[in-house]
Amino acid sequence: MLATVVRVEPPTSARPGDKAVVTADGRLRGWIGGSCSEPVVRREALRALAEGTPQLIHIVGGDEVKQERKHGELMIATTCPSGGSLDIFVEPRLPKALLLVFGESPAADTMIRLAELTGFRTRAVSQAEIGSLEIPPGEGYAVVATMGHYDEEALEAALSHPDLDVSLIASTRRASAARQALFQRGLDEHTIARIHTSPGKVRGTTQEEIALLALADIVAARRKRGTRAAAVEQPAVIFATDQVCGMTVDPLTATNKAVHEGRTFWFCSAGCQAEFEKEPQRYLRAIEA
């Protein structure tokens, strides 16, 4: 995740253009302001990363913590003593989807070029590479554009990776023959059923048109799949809320905490901790309400 300060109203330690990277484990590297803004930005960056959508955060000073969320934006008032305000834009920077293209045909070459223009990281796989093919773990796509040359070998190699979405460029009759050949090689019906062929009635007449239509199906599948939170590492930090002022607190870095009736409460400052310890039941009632 990339977080960028886009607007400030002094007093604040951040300046427009300041940037920070929030990694999938919740750590922040860079500068987008001090302790009043950092935990909120980290929390919202992880949310945006899980959802795969950018977010604009408006942080303003206030007498009490309040927040209002609408699509793509969060307005949050904090009790930070500085009293300044700033807007921070956070955007996911997820790795590009992997597309393996089997074949040395004009359609395969065209697909490589088009896929790079549409946001894929691509890899061409020749017949000589099939036996030693290594694919990093994670979701991806494979298209077999061998045009009748070693279709079955390419399909078997692609299907051996359970996370790959596998497509075959072939006529209906040729695709049926390839599936039957794979069955005879010992692949089970569930695995063979993972092979996709274009369901559309429109078919290209040139190798370039064939590649374009096949890639369109893969792009549609990518959009339908969307961004999956499961593909993102679960963060090591779970943020807490200061029960006195309402500010977001990171238990891994906060130095102020109190234990009451076996429960640990975290605070943004020594002042909030002292207020809680003087009258814990007051704030416990607020939690229960």
pLDDT in tens, 132-173: 888 877 779 999 999 999 999 999 999 999 989 999 999 899
pLDDT value for 287: 53
Single residue among 50, 76, 94 that ends a domain in this structure: 94
Whether residues 67 and 139 share a domain: the answer is no
Q: Is residue 137 part of a domain?
A: yes
Query: Do 261 and 221 lie in a common domain?
Result: no
Helices 172-184 and 151-159, axial angle in degrees (round to 10): 60
Same domain for 90 and 6: yes
Nearest to 242 by CA among 263, 277, 266, 276: 266
* 42 lies in some domain: yes
How many CB atoms are closer than 10 A to CB 162? Answer: 8
User: Is there a single domain that holds both residue 49 and residue 122?
Assistant: no
Q: Report the pLDDT value the prediction gives residue 149, as an integer from 0 to 100.
A: 94
Burial of 194 (0-12, 13-18, 19+ CB in 10 A): middle
Examine the domain organization and report whether 262 and 220 are in the same domain.
no
pLDDT tens for residues 202-213?
Answer: 566 899 999 999
Indicate whether 43 and 57 sit together in one domain.
yes
Burial class (CB in 10 A: 0-12, 13-18, 19+), 45: buried
Is residue 170 domain-resident? yes
Regarding whether 263 and 157 lie in a shared domain, the answer is no
User: Cα-atom radius of gyration of the chain, to the nearest Å?
Assistant: 26
Decide: residue 95, CB within 10 A, 0-12 exposed, 13-18 middle, 19+ buried: exposed
* 182 part of a folded domain: yes
253 within a domain of the structure (yes/no):
yes
H-only helix segments in 118-256: 151-159, 172-184, 189-192, 207-225
pLDDT at 199: 60
How many domains are there within the chain? Answer: 3
Q: Report the chain (289 residues): mean pLDDT per 10 consecutive residues.
A: 94 94 90 88 89 91 85 87 88 89 95 95 94 82 95 96 93 94 96 85 78 93 66 62 88 89 91 92 68
Instruction: Single out the residue of 134, 185, 144 nearest to residue 166, CA to CA.
Output: 144
For residue 135, tell me if it sits in a domain: yes
Is there a domain that residue 231 lies in? no
Domain that holds residue 264: 238-289
Pair (24, 8) in one structural domain: yes
Domain end marker among 94, 121, 149? 94
Give domain status of residue 233, yes or no. no
Q: Which two tokens stand for residue 142?
A: 């494979």
264-268, long-range: CB within 8 Å, 24+ apart, which pairs? 265/240, 266/240, 266/242, 267/242, 267/243, 268/35, 268/36, 268/242
Check: CB of residue 131 under 8 Å from CB of residue 172. no
Q: What is the pTM of this model?
A: 0.62
Give, in order, the Cα–Cα distances in Å from 278 to each of 54, 80, 242, 259, 274.
41, 21, 15, 13, 6
